[in-house]
Amino acid sequence: MSRASDNETLSRVGPGSAMGGFMRKFWIPAALSSELEADGDPLRLMLLGEKLIAFRDTSGRVGIMDHRCPHRCASLFFGRNEEDGIRCVYHGWKFDVDGNCLDMANVPSHQDFKHKVKANAYNTHERNGMIWVYMGDQSEIPALPEIEATLLPEDQVLIRTAQRDCNWLQGLEGDIDTSHLSFLHLGAAQAGNVAADNDQQHVVAARAPEYIVAETEYGTKYASFRSTEGGGDTYWRLAHYVFPFWALPPNRPIDINIIGRAWVPLDDTHTMFYEFIHKDTRKRMRKDKSGKRLRGDGVDSEFRSNDTSWLGRWRLAANAGNDYLIDRDIQRSESYTGISNIHLQDQAVTESMGAITDRTQEHLSASDEMIAKTRRRILGAVRAFQKDGSLPVVRGDAAIMQGVRSGSYVSPADVDWMNAYEDHMRAIAKAAE
């Protein structure tokens, strides 16, 4: 159970909020590179409760700025994306991607003060198919995150995105709540019917594992563990939370599990999910003995068409309004939920908690230790930032994420969890040499 005031601190992200100030100190995935064309239409972008526009100029550079023109606040969404700048259609002032005013078309040249006017533009960076934005103080910009999956070249990475109609922390907590895997996603799978080479057999055979949770320089980590069938060994699933809104879930065996998932707040009650995953990781499916994908294990969702409204991007066709297209017959017979794929199953339960869940109503159990500790870790970091401006180490030293990966592995029962993890990571680094 959390205090109502803690819940407010964790959830509110708008300008002036504690969490919003903290998040603005980190680079944020803002949009897919493919969403902006050179000289194409500007994009309405909501981020941390701010209404922004994004556009790509003639040279290919991306600008992200307050949508209000600094002259008299008309929206630059209606602007003309012209030769290397966007021109406000009200009185013709033109701005480049850095916010510099290039032209004050309606003012006689001797009264022009364009060098004194700037649009409120944020620093952007584009890497491997993703446009990033830095919304904090523009004079002290940190390095981009070095989470492994975000560093994959464009021909190796798949980036999935979808909007979720709830607060960012509900999405994130779904990713660090490994306990639900054996139910929400694999509740109908029978241990005897999971492919033998599939490590999910352990998840299905023992649905109430134990947990170890620890703080890290970059956030928190946990491992769930249970004995393998027949005993002797331990099956581990180890994963990380990374400041401010990243989860590295343990979806696959650790040697192939290159994945990072960001829960980017659009505002207090809408979140954009971005998953960076290696193509080969994605290919590994959960199968039954005949090689068929386990029912409910799909990942591909249908989308509504994007529109130009502030929250009009990447909304799923199945949603709260149609009960996520739940099929009660399939729920009775083959799948635990009757909801067609993993992402949608997560979407349904996290949105069903309410736009901002009331955490004073919860009854946390031993299976929620990662969630409880991560909340405390985030609250501690936000309070330290409020007190004296201090920030987690990872913000200034992105390289500490090198060699950090999540995943599952089996080790002899007497090997310590961190030793087993480090052995695997050493073997992975050696194989990559």
- Residue written as token pair 């769930």: 224
DSSP 18-48: HHHHHHTTSEEEEEEGGG--BT---EEEEET
Q: Does 69 bind ligand FES (CB under 6 A)?
A: yes
**Residue closer to ligand FES (CB basis): 74 or 379:** 74
Q: Does 275 bind Fe ion (CB under 5 A)?
A: no
Residue numbers 25-84 binding Fe ion by CB under 5 A:
none
Handedness of CA 39, 53, 264, 24 (dihedral sign): positive
Interatomic CA distance for residues 249 and 204, integer angstroms: 18
| Piece of the chain touching ligand FES by CB under 6 A; list 10-18, 59-67, 69-77, 265-273 | 69-77
Closest contact distance (angstroms) between CB of 184 and Fe ion is 6
Q: Where are the beta strands (DSSP E) in 100-258?
A: 101-104, 121-127, 130-134, 157-164, 210-215, 219-227, 233-242, 246-248
Q: Which does 72 bind (CB under 5 to 8 A by kind): Fe ion, ligand FES, none?
A: ligand FES
Interatomic CA distance for residues 318 and 320, integer angstroms: 7
**Residue closer to ligand FES (CB basis): 103 or 334:** 103
Question: What is the widest separation between alpha-carbon atoms in the chain?
Answer: 86
Q: Does 74 bind ligand FES (CB under 6 A)?
A: yes
Q: Are 241 and 374 in contact (CB under 8 A)?
A: yes
Q: Which does 283 bind (CB under 5 to 8 A by kind): ligand FES, Fe ion, none?
A: none
Count of residues in contact with Fe ion, rule CB under 5 A: 1
Site string for ligand FES, 25-64 (x = CB under 6 A): ----------------------------------------
Q: Does 72 bind ligand FES (CB under 6 A)?
A: yes
Residues across the chain: 433
Interatomic CA distance for residues 365 and 405, integer angstroms: 26
**Which of 116, 89, 114 lies closest to 103 in space, CA to CA?**
114
Count of residues in contact with ligand FES, rule CB under 6 A: 9
Q: Which does 346 bind (CB under 5 to 8 A by kind): Fe ion, ligand FES, none?
A: Fe ion
Q: Does 315 bind ligand FES (CB under 6 A)?
A: no
Q: Which does 88 bind (CB under 5 to 8 A by kind): ligand FES, Fe ion, none?
A: ligand FES
DSSP 236-247: EEEEEEETTTEE
Q: DSSP assignment, residue 208?
A: S
Q: Of all helices (H) and strands (E), which one includes residue 65?
A: strand 62-66
Q: Are 32 and 159 in contact (CB under 8 A)?
A: yes
**Residue closer to ligand FES (CB basis): 54 or 119:** 119
Q: Are 131 and 31 in contact (CB under 8 A)?
A: yes
Site string for ligand FES, 83-122 (x = CB under 6 A): -----x-xxxx-----------------------------
**Residue closer to ligand FES (CB basis): 62 or 69:** 69
Q: Which does 303 bind (CB under 5 to 8 A by kind): ligand FES, Fe ion, none?
A: none
Q: Does 417 bind ligand FES (CB under 6 A)?
A: no
Q: What is the helix, strand, coil percentage profile of the chain, to 5?
A: 30, 30, 40
Q: Does 381 bind ligand FES (CB under 6 A)?
A: no
**Residue closer to ligand FES (CB basis): 71 or 287:** 71
**Which of 284, 282, 281, 293 lies closest to 193 in space, CA to CA?**
293
Closest contact distance (angstroms) between CB of 57 and ligand FES is 18
Q: Does 346 bind Fe ion (CB under 5 A)?
A: yes
Closest contact distance (angstroms) between CB of 77 and ligand FES is 12
Closest contact distance (angstroms) between CB of 27 and Fe ion is 26
Interatomic CA distance for residues 366 and 343, integer angstroms: 25
Which chain residues interact with ligand FES by CB under 6 A? 69, 71-72, 74, 88, 90-93
Which chain residues interact with Fe ion by CB under 5 A? 346
